[in-house]
Amino acid sequence: MSYARRAWIVLWKDALAERRSKEALNALFFFTLLLLFIFQFTLGGDRERLTDALPGLLWLGFVLSGLVGLGRAFLTERDHDCWEGLLLSPGDKSAIYLGKLAGNLLLMLLVEAIMLVLFGVFFNLDVGRHLPALAGVVVLGTVGFAAVGTLFAAMTAQVRARELLFPVLLLPVLVPVLLGSVKATEAVLAGEGLGGVTHWLKLLAAADTVYVAVGVLTFDAILEG
């Protein structure tokens, strides 16, 4: 079986399980809705302040829902004793990582799309006008996020204090990605386009490449158990 095929099978399995149970998507949809409530209640009704904080809030929402979503990426394998199954699968284990990463990426992008719509409805964010540039920034930021997230989710799945260790490890590592994403989003929402923030986009692209490469190279060591 080819490398790409093995990665595809992992992705397909996760997608099928999610399509049948809709566990993660339902919960995450509800969670994002609640996040918007929280943002509204904590920041008050001041429209102007909200507009200024919008890029940051958007990414705060992505990060929080990502922490919830990614943290459970390997729990089915752990809870249903399929870890050995992953271990026993033939060939390079990094195919499993790429499959998982693709699944997580899909899930997160879906949740982020929903969140963008919700921001559009509740916070008056003009998503339509900025869509192409905004989508590019969101995808660039999410790839890096999901790449480290998937790696650390696999690592912490077997640890007692998983809920604590996962965010504690992930958040500091995400700082460069977060910084670049928020700056680029700021520029897009301000209507300046991406011309002035190419250095942040380059940083994001570099971070994505590095994270995916590290994930591919080190996943084997994590999967061992």
Give the footprint of other proteins on this chain (CB under 8 A).
148, 151, 155, 158-161, 165, 168-169, 172-173, 175-176, 203, 210-211, 214, 218, 221-222, 224-225
**Residue among 58 and 178 whose Cβ is closer to other proteins:** 178
The count of other CB atoms within 10 Å of the CB of residue 117 is 13
Residue given tokens 């590592």 in the structure block: 173
* Buried/exposed 30-62: b ≥16 CB within 10 Å, e otherwise: ebbeebbeebeeeeeeeeeebeeebbebbbbbb
**Nearest distance, CB of residue 191 and other proteins, angstroms:** 26
**Nearest distance, CB of residue 129 and other proteins, angstroms:** 31
**Residue among 25 and 176 whose Cβ is closer to other proteins:** 176
Residues 6 or more apart in contact with residue 178 via CB below 8 angstroms: 59, 63, 141
**Nearest distance, CB of residue 127 and other proteins, angstroms:** 29
Gap between the terminal Cα atoms of the chain = 24
**Residue among 48 and 224 whose Cβ is closer to other proteins:** 224
**Residue among 15 and 165 whose Cβ is closer to other proteins:** 165
Residue given tokens 């409805």 in the structure block: 121
**Nearest distance, CB of residue 214 and other proteins, angstroms:** 6
